[in-house]
Each structure stands twice: as structure tokens, then as C-alpha cells.
């Protein structure tokens, strides 16, 4: 279908809730996307940190073909082999204390499930989270489910007095809010949507200690930073912090919709039959995809690639910042989540447009930060290709 037809049909039949660029893609291979005319684009967006293995990775395609040909979906009414296998694999890449997983369909759902788990485990009602953070956009499904059996024990979560917000990287702000009514504190190691703002080690470790002191569950939202994006399996591994609950989603199934809530035996034990669930969560196809992702990352030493190319990329960007201090205000991040803060929203939008016109896709987060979140297989040569286009865009 030609682009104009896609655009016309979209304007006519879809909700107008997304602001889209004038682009549509027909296929992808490695770190490149191709439009209907065969024009090639280098992709540093990866479907917003989702396409961890890039596009059409041959081993992943094979695993998906095998799975589709024998079983796509059953139900959590039965045991699901692929779900058990993915949970077992996650157990090998998470901290020792994190042993159990509940699969859902998205990042927002993972966070919802994590908060429900914390409220049930602690029997407390308050939830703390940071200003400038992002945890998803669901809000009201449980509130609208007017059946006592689903709402009871979670009622505090759907009460407007539930949430308290602290300043990120400000431990005093957390201290002023945390108390023995607090069930959990939900936090990102790097605020991705917030413009790639990194938590300092002192702050994150201080938060861990405060949570322990007050019996508050520390939920680390690794929806964007998890599954190798920072060069370690989990962003918190860079700080030696073990959360009580880890949530993840985006990169885990390389493009299949998945979310996961991971925690300890003890915390998971409160989620008895009937307390939580979802129809599609952890179906055979998405879990086979997750297994393939973990196996391919391990087999091909992809985390090493993220660390090496990511560090070189940050160095190149810092050198460019030294040349253009008026336009680049800051370079932040680690591995393959790098934010380049521009001097204004106009500059960031101009860079994104110039790059797209020159066949390189970049994303802008929080107005003026160019956010680089490519597939984890992005190579040194592709980093150089990006830098040539980015330098030209600035000049």
C-alpha cells in the first residue's frame, strides 16, 4: 500500500491520539527499516526500546515460526510450558533473591500488578513515586470493575489519597514522605521518558536503605532500562541494588507485547489464585519470544556490545558537545539509553526532522532531549553512520 493511502485510512478510521511523523515502514532487517519504496532508514528508536534484537533476527524468526506452527495461545487455566521456561530463564539473569515472575501484557500493567502486590503484601495503602517519572497510562480499569471480589484488598490503590510524589535525586524529599503507611516506592534507575535523567548512586542506594528501614517495598521500573539496555541485564545491577520487585516489558520479547513482575518467593506468595491475572499474559507465543531473546543475548554476548558501543558513542557525543556547546547542553545515560539534551525544543525537533530526511530515525523525549535507544545489536559502524548524520544536522 502506498504511503498516502496508509495516511488517509489512518486519518479516517483510527483515533487521532498519536502525533505521527510522515513515515510508514514495510519491513525491517537488523538495525534498518525500509519504507514501501525500499528507502532504507537507520533506526536508533527500536520501536521505543522494544526491538532489542533489531528486525527479522534469523534465530528469533525461526523460534517464532516454530512456535506459531504449534501453539500461539491457550489460557492460564492450564500450565504453559513456554511461560515456565521464560520464568526459569529470568531467574538466571535476575538477582538471587528475585525468583518468581508474573507475566502481563505491557509496562503499565506490570507496574499496576506490582503495586497491587505491594499493597497486598504490606497491608498498607500509600504509593510513592518521583516527579518527572513515567510508569504508564492505565488508570481506571479496577475502579470501574464494580465487583467487591476484585476490588477488596486493593481499594486503597484506587483512592485519590494513594499517591505521594518526591523529587528525583533528592533523598530529603523521599524522607519527608516515606512512613509506615507506605506500601511501596516506584522508581526508575534512569528516567527515560523524563529525558534520560540518571539516578545518582547515592540517591538510589539511599532510597533502597530508606525502603528497608520503613518496611516499604522498592519497586524498580525497568520497563525501558531492563533486558540489557544499560549493558547489564538490569539498570540496578550497575548500582549493586536488589529491589523487592522489578517490573519490565519493552525489550523482553523483541516486539511481542509482554510485561513481567518479578519478586521474591515471600512477596509473590500473597498473590494467591484470583488476586490478579490477565487473559493474554504470558501466552506461549510471547514467552517463546522472550526465551529466544534471552538465549540470543547470551549466545551472542550482546550485553558486551551494548557496553562497548554505548561507551564509544557517549564519548563521541561528548566531543561533539565540546564543539557545539550552544546547541548541546548535556549528554547523559549509559549503554544504549543515551540522552542528548539540546538547547531548545526547536533544535531537537529540527534535528529529528533533518535526520529523518537523511534516513536516520531518532526519538525526542521530554521536549528537547534526543533519546538514543537503538536495537541492542547496533554496531560501531552504525554508531559512526549516526554520528555523521547528527554532526551534519547540527552544522
Where does this chain bind ligand PLP (CB under 6 A)?
106-108, 111, 134-136, 188, 192-193, 221, 223-224, 249
Least gap, CB of 256 to ligand PLP (angstroms)? 12
Tell me whether residue 109 or residue 341 sits nearer to ligand PLP (CB atom). Answer: 109
Least gap, CB of 199 to ligand PLP (angstroms)? 12
* Integer CA distances (angstroms), 119 to 124, 183, 233, 248, 365, in order: 6, 6, 27, 19, 31
The CB-nearest residue to ligand PLP is: 107
Tell me whether residue 193 or residue 341 sits nearer to ligand PLP (CB atom). Answer: 193
Tell me whether residue 88 or residue 163 sits nearer to ligand PLP (CB atom). Answer: 163
Least gap, CB of 104 to ligand PLP (angstroms)? 10
Least gap, CB of 225 to ligand PLP (angstroms)? 7
Alpha-carbon distance of 292 to 175, in angstroms, equals: 42
CB-CB contact of 50 with 255 (8 Å):
yes
CB-CB contact of 121 with 217 (8 Å):
yes
Alpha-carbon distance of 386 to 356, in angstroms, equals: 11
Handedness of CA 76, 77, 82, 85 (dihedral sign): positive
The SS3 of residue 390 is: helix
CB atoms within 10 A of CB 60: 23
203 contact partners, CB below 8 Å, separation of at least 6: 168, 169, 170, 171
CB-CB contact of 72 with 276 (8 Å):
no
Tell me whether residue 249 or residue 362 sits nearer to ligand PLP (CB atom). Answer: 249
Tell me whether residue 136 or residue 206 sits nearer to ligand PLP (CB atom). Answer: 136
Least gap, CB of 105 to ligand PLP (angstroms)? 8
Helix (H) or strand (E) holding 350: helix 345-357
Least gap, CB of 46 to ligand PLP (angstroms)? 12
Tell me whether residue 248 or residue 382 sits nearer to ligand PLP (CB atom). Answer: 248
Amino acid at each position: 500500500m502506498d504511503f498516502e493511502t496508509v495516511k488517509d485510512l489512518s486519518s479516517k478510521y483510527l483515533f487521532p491520539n498519536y502525533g505521527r511523523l510522515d513515515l510508514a515502514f514495510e519491513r525491517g532487517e537488523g538495525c534498518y527499516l525500509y519504507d514501501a519504496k525500499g528507502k532504507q532508514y537507520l533506526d536508533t528508536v527500536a520501536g521505543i526500546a522494544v526491538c532489542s534484537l533489531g528486525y527479522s533476527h534469523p534465530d528469533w524468526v525461526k523460534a517464532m515460526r516454530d512456535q506459531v506452527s504449534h501453539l500461539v495461545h491457550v489460557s492460564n487455566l492450564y500450565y504453559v510450558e513456554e511461560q515456565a521456561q521464560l520464568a526459569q530463564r529470568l531467574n538466571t539473569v535476575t538477582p538471587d533473591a528475585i525468583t518468581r515472575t508474573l507475566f502481563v501484557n505491557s509496562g503499565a500493567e506490570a507496574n499496576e500488578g506490582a503495586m497491587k502486590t505491594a499493597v497486598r503484601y504490606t497491608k498498607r495503602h500509600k504509593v510513592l513515586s518521583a516527579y518527572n517519572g513515567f510508569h504508564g497510562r492505565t488508570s481506571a480499569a479496577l475502579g470501574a470493575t464494580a465487583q467487591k471480589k476484585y476490588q477488596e484488598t486493593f481499594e486503597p490503590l484506587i483512592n485519590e489519597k494513594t499517591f505521594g510524589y518526591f523529587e528525583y535525586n533528592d533523598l530529603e524529599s523521599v524522607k519527608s514522605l516515606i512512613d509506615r503507611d507506605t506500601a511501596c516506592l516506584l522508581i526508575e534507575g534512569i528516567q527515560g521518558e523524563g529525558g534520560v535523567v540518571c539516578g545518582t548512586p547515592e540517591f538510589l542506594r539511599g532510597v533502597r536503605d530508606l525502603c528497608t528501614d520503613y518496611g516499604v517495598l522498592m519497586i524498580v521500573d525497568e520497563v525501558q532500562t531492563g533486558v540489557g539496555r544499560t549493558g547489564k541485564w538490569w539498570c540496578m545491577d550497575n548500582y549493586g541494588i536488589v529491589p523487592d520487585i522489578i517490573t519490565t516489558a519493552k525489550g523482553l520479547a523483541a516486539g511481542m507485547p509482554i510485561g513481567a513482575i518479578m519478586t521474591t518467593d515471600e512477596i509473590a506468595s500473597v498473590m494467591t489464585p484470583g488476586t490478579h491475572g490477565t487473559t493474554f499474559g504470558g501466552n506461549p507465543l510471547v514467552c517463546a519470544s522472550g526465551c529466544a531473546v534471552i538465549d540470543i543475548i547470551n549466545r551472542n554476548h550482546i550485553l558486551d556490545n551494548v557496553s562497548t558501543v554505548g561507551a564509544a558513542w557517549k564519548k563521541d557525543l561528548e566531543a561533539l558537545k565540546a564543539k557545539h556547546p550552544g546547541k548541546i547542553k548535556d549528554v547523559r545515560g549509559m549503554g544504549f539509553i543515551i540522552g542528548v539534551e539540546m538547547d531548545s525544543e526547536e533544535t531537537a525537533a529540527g534535528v529529528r526532522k533533518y535526520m529523518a530526511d537523511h534516513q536516520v530515525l531518532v526519538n525526542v523525549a521530554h521536549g528537547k532531549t534526543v533519546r538514543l535507544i537503538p536495537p541492542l545489536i547496533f554496531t560501531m559502524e552504525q554508531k559512526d553512520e549516526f554520528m555523521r548524520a547528527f554532526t551534519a544536522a547540527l552544522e
